Structure 1
Amino acid sequence: MTDQHYAPPPGPPPSYRQHAPTTNNAKANNNSDFAPPPGPPPSHRQHNDIPSQSPTEANPPPYQNWMTIEDTSLLPPPPALPEDTSPTNNASYDSAAQAHTWCTSHPLYTPSTPSADIHALAQKGHFILDQPPPPLAKSFTLTQTTATKWHIRTHSSQSDVIILTNLPSYFAATDHPLTTHRPFQISYTIHIKRIANANSGIAIGFAAKPYPPFRLPGWHRASLAVHGDDGRRFTNDPWGGREFVDAFKPGQSITMGMTFTTTPLAANASTIKTTAWLTRNGRTDEWQVDEQRDQRDEGVEGLMGEADLYPAIGVFGGVEFEVEFRPKG
């Protein structure tokens, strides 16, 4: 009685029943229900089911000659990358911070509409060079030799200073290509006579007013320049500039210019295109200013034809040179 009461129930345990059909032949069902699945295991199938490759299909086809460039001179030059510092001379961070504060306190002038006489003077190159403030020009001389030529001489103790013309060479209100429907070009030339040492240099460029008088052109808003001590170009960049040309040397004549043209957009619209260029020894190097939008400072503000631009010359240390403003054209 006791043995019968605790005897196991008939049939397989529940874990077996949930897989096997409910029939009287439990043993047969158990054997068939837990048989291995038909066919080879998956690891076998994934290789055997792939169509075999012929020897010619086992590797990619041979590379053709056009896939390689044997003559690297055919490649375009790599883009000039922005630098944090110059390899030659660098202003202090305090000077840069003071200049940023100065620019915040002195917003750019709005474009002016010149009279016909004033515009004609600028076209003829009849500019006056503004004397820097007295604290910045202790060892500094400016001499006008002709209506379009000036002589500049500084002592080796001269600190960073910028020299601007009294009139713009580009008036946004009257010279803008979107208004005139024709290109407009500005330029001027320096003739270098002396560079005292490695701590002396000349920067040649353009800038809008007002501009911090104790800073070189190209370092701040609405300005660009090529600096002669390291040959780098600066576009609203207070850092280390970008590689451009070789350093300036005595005896060289260097022309700096900008060309304003239009480039078509969709729907019969156009936009301004600005090219900066420098000519020396018969060779011209240029860069597209509107491609400098990755600059880390103020981008291309003021340089796309929207601001009046003045010839801007920066000096530091002991230098001597002539500035020549040739008539337009």
Structure 2
Amino acid sequence: MPVTSVHTDPEALTTTLVADFPVPVERLWGAFTDPRRLERFWGPPSYPATFSEFDLRPGGRARYDMTGPDGEVYRSVWLVIAVDAPTRLAFDDLFATEDGEVDAAQPPSTSVLDFEPTESGSRMRITTTFPTAEALETLLAMGMEQGYAEAFGQLDRVLADLREYALGRGVVTEVLDDTHVRFTRAFDAPRHAVWRAHTEPDLMRRWLLGPDGWEMTVCENDLVVGGRFRQAWAPVGDTAGEPFGFEGENTLVQPERRIVSTEAMTGAPYPPNTNDLQLAEVDGATLLTLLVTYPSVEQRDAILATGMTDGMEASYRRLEREVLATA
């Protein structure tokens, strides 16, 4: 976790975040000046940003949306004040309307990002200033401090070279809290190929099987918001086990980028999980991130205890061998 502190000063009307990274300051600066990299961390894990405008010059503007797992959208715009590479970036960070205009009914803020070299790499300090105590209190009530920490906690993996950082590691499982678990897996393949493998039934049947000895008997997905999906598996030959399946509803679909869906075991008396699948491509390699929200810590632990990570890795190795290698 690169974030070392998040501090709010009610008298100065500021919130300051400090984070340290084991990379040169030029590399850290580059993460904030490339919209595709920004999209991987500018927003909490379940509210990633999408930049549709990006003019990073004094007087320029950048426009972005943060989309939640249920499809709710929070729109914002930067009005750029100063750019001094690679040490300082300043902008007004304002809520926006659907057409990209500043929403004057929402509280404004100004952010100054300072970057400096350290003995071990670089340090980032983000100071956000508010015009009134009411504006500060409103944004704090919206979870700004936690959102900052969660968003910039993702920066270390953005700064790392994806091929060195993730390829060959297999599925990495991170228990974030009582109800959230993040799984990551890198593939030496472009994003569109990984997306197709996760959305086209003919391809899914070739790899989404878990351990050897199982076959996918049902693979249906109406890939639109509100569309239903259903998947089922059965053992083959002498393989031990009982047939089972999952079903749910898609709550968000962003082609080649993100799918959010509910998921429950067919016929089981358990509430559904929410699966947030995101794909990011860097230099021809793709990082898959699956953020799972469980309804309780008990259900989280029960599902993880089934050997879920091992089953995912077995399927992903088959995906690489049977689908991506021939794409």
TM-score range, shorter chain: under 0.3
Q: Which has a greater percent of helix?
A: 2
Q: Which has a greater percent of strand?
A: 2
TM-score by length of 1: 0.24
> Which is bigger in relative contact order (C-alpha 8 A, separation at least 6)?
1
TM-score by length of 2: 0.24
Which protein has the larger Cα radius of gyration, Structure 1 or Structure 2? Answer: 1
